[in-house]
Homo-oligomer: A and B are copies of this chain.
């Protein structure tokens, strides 16, 4: 099926999901919309996140998408069920794929989750994990320093290591969890550093990888994968600044971006 996959995010974090979609589904065409004008969504009230997300969804629906990925933890927590009910196309968030992958990987049923304060406070990951298995023990930890650091381009090296080590100290010193969910779409850019800090025995679950896998499952299930051969041209829209967007995409994720278009989603 020739229609594109739509990806929405509050800004640049969802590019880690887009990057994995391109890797795991190289024939599929993406339309990405990052609401860089109004990011971050984390500190905003629920009603505002819902309104902004619906505006983004409407913009993409006009481009005839076959599946919608909500590549943002905050937006997933507040709008996934609503959108699954209202839209005729499949809608996939980033929380459930990470939770299911963690359940597959853990041997001792001790799972850690790191994310923004909003995501940890929402208890979306413990709820998703306990919905499947009530015996899993979850340690949640917010890491407010990670997003600004990633957006400044500090991703590897001693400074990144020290910030990550300090942030994860409480979860690391307990030596209980065997699986750690990166519950923020910015964090996969820090995956190597987080793995180095936590040690090789802890499985790191990246929501981007797992969400792309589940998009593949759902498109396969509905028989709506693109069946021919092609190197698709993706489109990227932002509602505001695109400088960080371009740097993350090109420097860190090796995503080929020629043009970033401006989306005026409020008046669209």
A42-50, A160-168, A221-229, A237-245: which lies at the interface? A221-229
Contact A227 B24 (CB under 8 A): no
Contacts A26-B135, A132-B25 given; indicate if A104 touches B209 (C-beta within 8 A): yes
Identity of the chain B residue whose Cβ is nearest the Cβ of A136 in the assembled complex: B26
Residues of B within 8 A of A131 (CB): 225, 227
Which residues of B lie under 8 Å from residue A103 when comparing CB positions? Answer: 24, 216
Residues of chain B lying within 8 A (CB to CB) of residue A82: none
Majority SS at the chain A contact face: helix
A254 to chain B, nearest CB (A): 13
Whether the pair A24, B212 counts as a contact (CB closer than 8 A) is no
The reply on A218 being an interface residue by CB < 8 A is yes
- Nearest CB on B from A268, distance (A): 29
Pick the residue among B132, B212, B216, B218 that contacts A216 (CB under 8 A): B132
* Closest chain B CB from A52 CB (angstroms): 25
Query: Residues of B contacting A258 with CB < 8 Å?
Result: none
Contact B225 A132 (CB under 8 A): yes
Q: Which residue of B lies closest to A96 (CB)?
A: B220
Bound CA–CA A17/B229 (angstroms): 33
Q: Binary interface profile of A, 25-46, with partner B (CB < 8 Å = 1, else 0)?
A: 1110000000000000000000
> What is the chain B residue whose CB lies nearest that of A134?
B229
Q: Are the C-beta atoms of B133 and A220 separated by less than 8 Å?
A: no
